[in-house]
Copies of this chain bind each other. A is one copy, B any other.
Amino acid sequence: MALLRTREAVVQRFRTVLSRHGLTEQQWRILRALDGHEGLEISLLAEQCRILLPSMTGILRRMEQRGLVRRYANQADGRSIRVRLTETAQALVEEIKPEVVGVYAEIERILGQRKLEQLYALLEELEAGLLEGGRRSGAV
């Protein structure tokens, strides 16, 4: 249960930071995924952010209304739609980054650098394995 419980404590930290800027955790994942990209297809974005497509539609609609993202058509394939950040969104990401870094700094203060790196490595390995397994055998 440790992962689930700890997650709750960590996520609440992030939610506090993000909600001050009117963002949810999912919206932040989308901002981060799009940051530094010319534009991503919605289905690719959904996969990277681990958000289902119907949820994605709603989340992107809210973000678009708020002027954070823009949809634009893909000339090569009329079905697919790409999304990219507006300048407003890029500025917002830069504004929030330091605060998010603050949360990580708190974590590092608690664990120390060596253990934080250990934790990070373990999580990466676990994530890779879970995705791999998920692809192979479907959801557990």
Contacts and interface: CB of A to CB of B under 8 A. Distances in A.
Interface of A: 1-14, 16-17, 25, 29, 32, 50, 99, 102-103, 106-107, 109-111, 115, 118-120, 122-127, 129-131, 133-134, 139-140
Given A110-B133, A115-B125, A119-B122, A14 B4 contact: yes
A39 to B, nearest CB: 21
Nearest first, the 9 A-B pairs at minimum CB distance are: A110-B129, A16-B139, A2-B123, A6-B127, A9-B130, A8-B50, A6-B123, A7-B7, A119-B122
A127 B109 CA distance: 13
B120 A2 contact: yes
A98 to B, nearest CB: 12
A122 B120 CA distance: 10
